[in-house]
Amino acid sequence: MRIEQTRDLDTCRALRRTVFIEEQNVPEAEEWDGRDGEALHLLAWDGERPVGTARILLLGETGKIGRVCVLQEARGTGVGVALIRAALDVLRGQSGVTQAKLGSQTHAIGFYAKLGFTVVGEEYDDAGIPHRDMVRGV
């Protein structure tokens, strides 16, 4: 498996369509929020096949990691962990960024906690799915 920064938005969006829109029933209007053009994007590859993606928005001192998804058949293989670690590496290379933030689906809080993230704030609804914000230093 390899993770790389990419400008291949078509592949990133295809993965997000599969996981978020088709599998999790996120409305298209909510998934395509118009911010992809300003974001940094990561792609995870299993051989020649893309299996996961994440995007990073730079917001002052905070890097927001979002749209993290892994195809169902690749879950549990370390792809998600590798994507988050790669996103943190990218953030470490950004001048002035001191914190990483993400919105975790509540069922995934334990996954992100193992990667050093801490829950902040109250639970909220995002596209019909309960979420909590989480942060950690970079």
Distance CA 11, CA 100 (A): 24
Section 46-73 average pLDDT: 97
Please tell me whether the overall predicted TM-score, pTM, comes out greater than 0.75 for this model: yes
pLDDT tens for 77-116 read 999 999 999 999 999 999 999 999 999 999 999 999 999 9
As a whole number, the mean pLDDT across the chain is 97
CATH for the 2-98 domain, from 2.40.50.140, 3.40.630.30, 3.40.50.720, 3.50.50.60: 3.40.630.30
